[in-house]
Structure 1
Amino acid sequence: MAADYRIGRASCWAVLLFGLQLAQAFYIPGWSIKSYSEGEAIPLFVNKLYSDNTQIQYAYSELPFVCPPSGRPRPGTGLISGSNVALNLGEVLRGDRIMVSDYELEMGTDDKAHYLCSQQVDRASLKKAVEVIKKGYVAEWIVDNLPGATSFVTVDKSRKYYAAGFKVGYEEPSLTTGQPRYFLNNHVTFMIRTHRAPGRDGQRGKKVIVGFEVYAKSVEAENRDASGLPASLHDVRNGLELTMAKNATNMTLPRNAGPAYVMPELDDGADDATLTIPYTYSVYFREEEKVEWANRWDLYFVNQEDSSKIHWFAIINSLVISGLLSAVVAVILTRTVRGDIKGYKEGCVEEGKQRLGNNKRGKGTRTPRKNSGEKGGFLEQEDADTTLGAADDASSDDELAEDITGWKLVHGDVFRPPPYGHLLAPLIGSGMQLVFMALGLLILSCFGVLNPSFRGGFISVAVALFIPAGILSGYFSARAYRTFVGGTTWRHNAIVTATLFPGLLFTTIFILNLFVWAQASSTAIPLGTLVGLVTLWLFIQLPLVYVGSWYGFVRAGSYTHPIKANVIPRQIPAQQWYSRNLQAILFAGLIPFAVIFIELMFVFQSLWQDKSGYYYVFGFLAVVSAILILAVMETTVIAVYIQLCSENYNWWWQSFFLGSSSSIWIFAYCIYYYSHHLHITGFVSTMLFFAYSFLACLVYGLLMGTIGFLTAYAFVRRIYGAIKVD
Structure 2
Amino acid sequence: MVSTFRSSFLLLLVSLFALLAFASESDHKYQTDEQVTLWVNKVGPYNNPQETYNYFSLPFCHPPGNAGHKWGGLGEVLGGNELIDSQIDMKFKKNVGRTTICIIELDATKVKQFRDAIGKSYWFEFFIDDLPLWGFIGEVHSDKKNDKIQHLLYTNKNIFVRYNGDQIIHVNLTQDSPKPLEEGKALDMTYSVQWIPTDVAFSRRFDIYLDHPFFEHQIHWFSIFNSFMMVIFLTGLVSMILMRTLRNDYAKYAREDDDLETLERDVSEESGWKLVHGDVFRSPRNMVLFSAVVGTGAQLAMLVLLVIILAIIGMLYIGRGAIVTTFIVCYALTSFISGYVSGGMYSRNGGKSWIKSMILTASLFPFMCFGIGFILNTIAIFYGSLAAIPFGTMVVVFVIWAFISFPLALLGTVVGRNWSGAPNNPCRVKTIPRPIPEKKWYLTPSVVSLMGGLLPFGSIFIEMYFVFTSFWNYKVYYVYGFMLLVFMILMIVTVCVTIVGTYFLLNAENYHWQWTSFFSAASTAFYVYFYSIYYYYMKTKMSGFFQTSFYFGYTLMLCLGLGILCGAVGFLGSNLFVRRIYRNIKCD
- The answer to whether TM tops 0.5 is yes
Structure 1 residue aligned with 2:271, among 405, 426, 429? Answer: 405
Distance 1:535 1:637, change over 3 A: same
Distance 1:529 1:563 in 2: 51
| Residue 632 (structure 1) aligns with | 494
Identity in percent = 32
Aligned partner of 1:242 among 162, 166, 181: 181
Structure 1-normalised TM-score?
A: 0.75
1:193 corresponding residue in structure 2: 162
Secondary structure in structure 1 of the residue aligned to 2:385? coil
The answer (yes or no) to whether the contact 2:52–2:385 under 8 Å persists in 1 is yes
SS at match of 2:499: helix
Does structure 2 retain, via aligned residues, the 8 Å contact 1:562–1:724? no
**Partner SS for 2:453:** helix
Show the counterpart of 1:214.
173
Q: 1:396 to 1:491 in 2, by over 3 A?
A: closer
Preserved contact between residue 640 and residue 655 of structure 1 (Cα < 8 Å)? yes
Distance 1:424 1:725 in 2: 27
Match 2:89 to one of 98, 101, 104 = 104
Confirm or deny: 8 A CA contact 1:60 1:139 kept in the other structure: no
Tell me the residue number matched to 2:245: 336
**Distance in 2 (alpha carbons) for counterparts of 1:525 and 1:174:** 43
User: CA–CA distance in 2 between the matches of 1:669 and 1:609?
Assistant: 16
Matching residue within 47, 58, 66 for 2:60: 66
Q: CA deviation at 1:124?
A: 3.3
What is residue 398 of structure 2 aligned with on the other side? Answer: 534
Equivalent position of 1:723 in the other structure = 585
Q: How does 1:163-562 map to 2 (within 5 A)?
A: 165-195=134-164, 206-217=165-176, 219=177, 239-244=178-183, 266=184, 276-289=186-199, 291-304=200-213, 307-345=216-254, 347=255, 349-350=256-257, 354=258, 393-402=260-269, 404-447=270-313, 449-487=314-352, 489-557=353-421, 559-562=423-426
Question: Partner amino acid for 1:393?
Answer: L
For residues 13-60 of structure 1, give each alpha carbon's deviation from its aligned partner in whole angstroms, at most 9, with x where no partner exists. xxxxxxxxxx9xx76449832233332222111111244422444344
**Aligned 8 A contact 1:119 1:277 in 2:** yes
**What secondary structure, in the 3-state scheme, does the structure 2 residue paired with 1:185 have?**
strand
Give the letter for the 2:175 counterpart: A
Alignment-derived partner of residue 658 in structure 1: 520
1:224 corresponding residue in structure 2: none
Q: Residue 287 of structure 2 contacts residue 351 of structure 2 at CA under 8 Å; is this kept in 1?
A: no
Question: Are the structure 2 counterparts of residues 422 and 522 from structure 1 closer, same or farther at C-alpha, using a change threshold of 3 Å?
Answer: same
CA distance in 2: counterparts of 1:724 and 1:455, whole angstroms: 60
Q: Which residue of 2 aligns with 1:702?
A: 564
Q: Distance in 1 between matches of 2:25 and 2:225?
A: 33
**Structure-1 residue corresponding to 2:10:** none
Which segment is superposed worse, 455-464 or 585-594?
585-594
Give, in angstroms, the shift of residue 342 of structure 1: 3.2
Q: Per-residue CA shift, 1:489-523, capped at 9, x if unaligned?
A: 21122112222221121122112111110111101
Q: Give the 3 Å change call, closer, same or farther, for CA 413–532 of structure 1 in structure 2.
A: same
Structure 1 residue 405: Cα displacement: 2.3
Give CA-to-partner distance per residue, 1:176-234, whole Å, 9 cap, x none.
44343221122110111122xxxxxxxxxx332221110022x2xxxxxxxxxxxxxxx
- Change beyond 3 A, Cα 1:625–1:31: farther
In 2, Cα distance between equivalents of 1:306 and 1:677: 17
Q: Is the 8 A contact 2:35 2:90 kept in 1?
A: yes
Residue type at the aligned position of 2:26: S
Secondary structure of residue in 1 paired with 2:52: strand
Is it true that 1:684 corresponds to 2:541 in the alignment? no
Q: Retained in 2: the 8 A contact 1:450–1:458?
A: no
Q: How big is the shift at 1:615?
A: 0.6
**Could you tell me how far apart the structure 1 residues matched to 2:373 and 2:261 are?**
67
Q: Is the 8 A contact 1:59 1:96 kept in 2?
A: no
Whole-Å separation in 1 of the counterparts to 2:163 and 2:371: 47
Q: Structure 1 residues 119, 639: closer, same or farther in 2, change over 3 A?
A: same
Q: Please give the alpha-carbon distance, in whole angstroms, between the structure 2 residues aligned to 1:572 and 1:703.
A: 29
Q: Distance in 2 between matches of 1:521 and 1:465?
A: 28
Q: Is the 8 A contact 2:448 2:516 kept in 1?
A: no
Q: Hey, what's the Cα distance between the residues in 2 that align with 1:41 and 1:642?
A: 70
Structure 1 stretch displaced more, 405-414 or 648-657: 405-414
Q: Which amino acid is the alignment partner of residue 287 of structure 1?
A: P
Distance of 2:450 and 2:107 partners within structure 1: 56
Output the amino acid matched with 2:526.
I
Q: Kindly name which structure, 1 or 2, has the bigger radius of gyration based on alpha carbons.
A: 1
More helix by share: 2
Superposition deviation, residue 395 in structure 1: 4.0
Quick one: distance in 1 between partners of 2:187 and 2:52? Answer: 20
Matched residue SS, 1:54: coil
Q: What is residue 693 of structure 1 aligned with on the other side?
A: 555
Q: Which amino acid aligns with 2:427?
A: I
Q: Distance in 1 between matches of 2:116 and 2:508?
A: 61
CA distance in structure 1 between the aligned counterparts of 2:409 and 2:107, rounded to whole angstroms:
55
The code of the aligned residue for 1:186 comes to T
Contact 1:418 1:652 in 2 (8 A): yes
For residue 434 of structure 1, report the CA deviation from its aligned partner: 1.3
TM-score of the superposition, structure 2-length normalised? 0.92
Tell me the distance in 2 between the aligned counterparts of 1:132 and 1:530: 30
Distance of 1:85 and 1:688 partners within structure 2: 25
Provide closer, same or farther for how the CA distance between residues 30 and 175 of structure 1 changes in structure 2, counting only shifts above 3 A. farther
Unaligned runs of 5+ in 1: 1-22, 72-80, 149-164, 196-205, 220-238, 245-265, 267-274, 355-391
Give me the whole-angstrom Cα distance separating, in 2, the residues matched to 1:709 and 1:306. 33
Cα deviation per residue 1:509-550 (whole Å; 9 max; x = unaligned)? 112111110111101000111122222223332222222222
Q: Give a deviation string over 1:295-343, Cα, whole Å, max 9, x none.
A: 2222212344674322111111111111111110112454122332233
SS of match in other structure, 1:560: coil
Q: 1:642, CA displacement in angstroms? A: 1.1
Letter matched to residue 293 of structure 1: F
Instruction: Find the counterpart in structure 2 of residue 126 from structure 1.
Output: 111
Alpha-carbon offset, residue 88 of structure 1:
0.7
Matched residue type, 1:482: S
CA deviation after TM superposition for structure 1 residue 465, in Å: 0.7
